[in-house]
Amino acid sequence: MKKPALPRQNGSAQKKSLSSLLAVVLFLVFFILALCANIIAPHDPWERFDPYLPPSVEHWLGTNDLGHDILSELIYGSRVSLLVGLGAAVLATAIGLCVGLFAGYYKGVTDEILMGITDVFLMIPRIPLIILLAAFLKPSFWIIALVIGFLWWTSTARVVRSKSLQVSEMNFVLSSKCLGFSDKHIIFTDIFPNIIQIVIPKFMLTVAAAMITEASLSFLGLGDPSMKSWGMMINFAFTKGGLINALWWWFIPPGLCIMFFVYSVVLLGYSLEEKEQAVLGIS
């Protein structure tokens, strides 16, 4: 039979689809920048010109204290920021997915232990811990990504667990059990495909969180000085007098980049989540 009448497409729905289109475009722009940095950037980011040059035809965004071209730095910086964000999010999502799937499928003691661990991780004050770690370990870009990944999986694990609890009670999972399929087979071919749609938006939000964390750490001077991320650029602008002398072309562009990229990722995450809810008929 036909479903009852759907609400008409109204203005707000159109606005929503427009904003998700914007998010996709922004995301793609940054992604291409990062991927083809060596082709797009006008100069090598380590090449030296005259320091403190204002924006000109030669250097669209001027140069910094060491004479590096800021536009090129910005373009190469997208690589670092994206790598940290994506790397940390991949790790966090993988851990969260496994913990959530196993807890939700096996239930009982396994569930209690795994969720206990999740609660412990949830209580860790994350930023102070990272600051401590960064201070003791040699600040390196990979360590930062790793640490963020190891700390940001908890909410994914919880969402995945509750959904897989629900899915594993459904008849097709019981049928698979009864037909004699292995647990591994059931978890990865029966349950996983039915929760992937809630994991993707969660992944996008983790990317955003990881990028902001990396930027904050770099700004605090705990980043990797050999890798020029956007956060690192703001940090240099701050410590090397860019801010005091109001050299706006130095600190505003990386800030805007962080803002727009995080914005696009979060929007993308939300619109994916909404799509999922629309499919399920919630919202």
Q: Which of residues 179-218 bind other proteins (CB under 8 A)?
A: 179-181, 185, 189-190, 193-194
Nearer to other proteins, 142 or 172 (CB): 172
Nearer to other proteins, 173 or 233 (CB): 173
Question: Which one of 4, 128, 244, 283 is in contact with other proteins (CB under 8 A)?
Answer: 4
Token pair of 163 as six digits: 């959904």
Q: How far is CA 36 from CA 68, 116, 227, 265, in A?
A: 19, 44, 17, 20
CB of residue 282 to other proteins, shortest distance in Å: 13
CB of residue 10 to other proteins, shortest distance in Å: 12
DSSP assignment of 47-61: ----TTPPS-SSSTT
φ, ψ (nearest 5 deg) of residue 64: -100, -165
Q: Could you give the 3-state DSSP secondary structure of residue 62? A: coil
Number of residues that bind other proteins (CB under 8 A): 23
Token pair of 32 as six digits: 């291409």
Q: Which of residues 224-283 bind other proteins (CB under 8 A)?
A: none
109 makes contact with other proteins (CB under 8 A): no
Residues 6+ apart with CB under 8 A from 121: 151, 153, 154
Q: Which helix (H) or strand (E) holds 195?
A: helix 192-219
Task: Give the C-alpha separation, 220 to 132, whole Å.
Answer: 12
Question: Which one of 48, 172, 183, 225 is in contact with other proteins (CB under 8 A)?
Answer: 172
**Residue written as token pair 């904003």:** 19
Task: Give the C-alpha separation, 152 to 211, whole Å.
Answer: 12
Nearer to other proteins, 126 or 177 (CB): 177
Binding mask 128-167 for other proteins (x = CB under 8 A): ----------------------------------------
Question: Which one of 109, 178, 244, 246 is in contact with other proteins (CB under 8 A)?
Answer: 178
Which residue ranges make up the site for other proteins (CB under 8 A)?
Answer: 1-6, 8, 170-172, 174-181, 185, 189-190, 193-194
